[in-house]
Amino acid sequence: MNQASEKDLQDVKRHVRQHLIIAVGLALGTLFTLWTSQTNFGSHSLNIAITLCVAAAQAFMVAGFFMHLLSEKKMIYCFLVFTAVFFVVMMAITVFAHMDTNVVHYQQ
């Protein structure tokens, strides 16, 4: 463990370089998010969509590279698929709740 081979050393150096590039990408993403939020794209909904897409791309970079999710074991992907399903269901309930306009007004 303490005596890392030359190959390990090169591997880690490559990973460190990769992480630095990702960090620069994340910082640029943050600046881009600031720009999109200040720019008028015609509708506020479009601004929200673009800003959230950039945030999702940044989240992908953090999960994929910093958390090594791109090269993880199958078992972890299984957990995350289940989590994603429950998450989507929860968000769908939110959307359905918002779409439910069947409000009954009772006269007093």
Binding site for another protein (CB under 8 A): 1-4, 8-9, 12, 15-16, 19-20, 22-23, 26-27, 30-31, 33-34, 37, 47-48, 51-52, 54-55, 58-59, 62-63, 66-67, 73-76, 79-80, 82-83, 86-87, 90-91, 93-94, 97-98
Sign of CA dihedral 5, 7, 9, 11: negative
63 in Cβ contact with 57 (< 8 Å): no
CB of 107 to another protein, least distance (A): 23
For another protein, the closer CB: 98 or 105: 98
The secondary structure of 1-46 as a DSSP string is --S--HHHHHHHHHHHHHHHHHHHHHHHHHHHHHHHHHS--SSHHH
CB of 21 to another protein, least distance (A): 10
CA distances (Å), origin 49, targets 16, 39, 78:
32, 13, 28
For another protein, the closer CB: 2 or 102: 2
CB of 84 to another protein, least distance (A): 8
